[in-house]
């Protein structure tokens, strides 16, 4: 399988703030970032709440000219990548440029500029369309701009698998290191889709919570009152290295990407398979690659969107994979705090899993009050729980039947 691949740096731009410390503080304290949409007039929409990023100054980060050449999903990714590289101690020319690669996932990419420029085409004609339209809207531009910003010349690509994108990106990046395609990989996910068209589209599908008056209490994974997810935005980026490369330079290690599993439901364009077979396969493959049994997992960060089908089917899948151990297994969803970051969710939740291992605490599922008989696991309701975590699992499932699962393991002798 190749030598172990470890995480040595992490960065995040989320509705909870800038950086991994702000992310962890919000998650462990159950401080939801969900509130009224302020970016546009949402009064005509069924859903009028979201978890928006506030206080992010793109011009301060990149300068006015460069900021205007990046869609927000790219801005978030580049800034989070800078954080991750600095956290890993690889800034100031320390990155092995030709042996470092980038894989960054997104579910939607630059839809904002596409809508804006479509209006210009209709009202002002084709000659007024921006020459930056195509490069700014392309989903691969987050990976491309990170490489440009950091001078990285190795493999560079995007993963687009809806809400599994960020997890797939990390898993595939780890596989690249194992097969010798790179020494270092920068990987994760990014999304910026809090837009009228996206809210309207998810609304007509019935995927979003319309519990607008509840604000931070709207998203209720695994609760009998759940009525959909609440959209968030942001980016999560990690630096991956082979264990030998990390130890040779004395890097701090958060943990090992011990296992990765991916599968397809091959069933429906939006709904998960009722028997959970795709989710089950992804979890089992991740455990197999990690060389772990179900009893070895200390915590699962669930996909846990708060939709009626997802939560019940994920519960079923976890019970089938973990068997008798499922009843003792802490499972929580952090989406009520961060919002659902779509293509960035799996990456941000991977960061959360690694921070949970470092901090010795299991994040809670907030807004949980009423038990659903179809959801009968230990969801760590409302309050974080101290725990010694040596292994964690993160689930990510996306429209189109995409399933991804990551397993992280503490590295012996490291302060992870």
Task: Check if 375 is active-site.
Answer: no
Which H, E and C letters describe the chain, residue by residue? CCCCEEEEEEEEEECCEECHHHHHHHHHCCCCCCEECCCCCCCCCCCCEEECCCCCCHHHHHCHHHHCCCCHHHHHHHHHHHHHHHHCCCCCCCCCHHHEEEEEECCCCCHHHHHHHHHHHHHHCHHHCCCCHHHHHCCCHHHHHHHHHHCCCCCEEEECECECHHHHHHHHHHHHHHCCCCCEEEEEEEECCCCHHHHHHHHHHCCECCCHHHHHHCCCCCECCCCCECEECEEEEEEEEEHHHHHHCCCCCCEEEEEEEEEECCCCCCCCCCCCHHHHHHHHHHHHHHCCCHHHCCEEECCCCCCHHHHHHHHHHHHHHHHHHHHHCEEECCHHHHCECHHHHHHHHHHHHHHHHHHCEECCECCCCCEECCECCECCECCCEECCCCEEEEEEEECCCEEEEEEEECCCCCCC
Catalytic entry in 99, 245, 340, 402: 340
The residue from 163, 353, 375, 405 that is catalytic is 163
Write down the catalytic residue from 79, 99, 303, 402. Answer: 303
- Residues serving a catalytic function are 163, 303, 340
């Amino acid at each position: 399988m190749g030598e172990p691949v470890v995480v040595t740096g992490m960065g995040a731009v989320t509705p909870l703030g800038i950086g991994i410390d702000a992310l962890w503080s919000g998650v462990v304290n159950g401080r939801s970032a969900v509130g009224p949409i302020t970016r546009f007039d949402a009064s005509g929409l069924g859903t009028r709440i979201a978890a928006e990023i506030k206080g992010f100054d793109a011009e301060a980060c990149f300068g006015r000219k460069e900021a205007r050449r990046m869609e927000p999903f790219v801005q978030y990714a580049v800034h989070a990548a800078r954080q991750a590289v600095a956290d890993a101690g690889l800034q100031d020319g320390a990155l092995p440029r030709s042996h470092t690669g980038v894989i960054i996932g997104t579910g939607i990419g630059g839809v904002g500029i596409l809508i804006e420029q479509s209006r210009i085409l209709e009202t002002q004609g084709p000659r007024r369309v921006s020459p930056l339209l195509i490069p700014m809207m392309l989903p691969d531009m987050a990976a491309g701009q990170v490489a440009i910003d950091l001078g990285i010349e190795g493999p560079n690509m995007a993963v687009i698998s809806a809400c599994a994108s960020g997890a797939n990106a990390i898993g595939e990046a780890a596989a690249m290191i194992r097969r010798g395609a790179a020494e270092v990989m920068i990987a994760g996910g990014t999304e910026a889709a809090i837009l009228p068209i996206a809210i309207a589209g998810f609304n007509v599908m019935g995927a979003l919570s319309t519990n607008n008056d509840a604000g931070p209490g709207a998203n209720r994974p695994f609760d009998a009152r759940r009525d959909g997810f609440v959209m968030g935005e942001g980016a999560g980026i990690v630096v991956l290295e082979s264990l030998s490369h990390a130890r040779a330079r004395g890097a701090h290690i958060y943990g090992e990407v011990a296992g990765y599993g991916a599968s397809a439901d091959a069933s429906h364009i939006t709904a998960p398979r009722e028997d959970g077979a795709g989710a089950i396969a992804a979890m089992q493959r991740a455990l197999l690659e990690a060389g772990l049994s179900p009893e070895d997992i200390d915590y699962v960060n669930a996909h846990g969107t708060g939709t009626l089908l997802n939560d019940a089917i994920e519960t079923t899948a976890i019970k089938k994979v973990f068997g008798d151990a499922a009843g003792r297994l802490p499972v929580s969803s952090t989406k009520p705090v961060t919002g659902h970051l779509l293509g960035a969710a799996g990456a941000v939740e991977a960061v959360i899993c690694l921070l949970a291992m470092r901090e010795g605490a299991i994040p809670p599922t907030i807004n949980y009050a009423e038990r659903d008989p179809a959801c009968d696991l230990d969801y760590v309701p409302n309050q974080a729980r101290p725990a010694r975590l040596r292994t964690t699992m993160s689930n990510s499932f996306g429209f189109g039947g995409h399933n991804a699962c990551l397993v992280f393991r503490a590295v012996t002798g490291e302060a992870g």
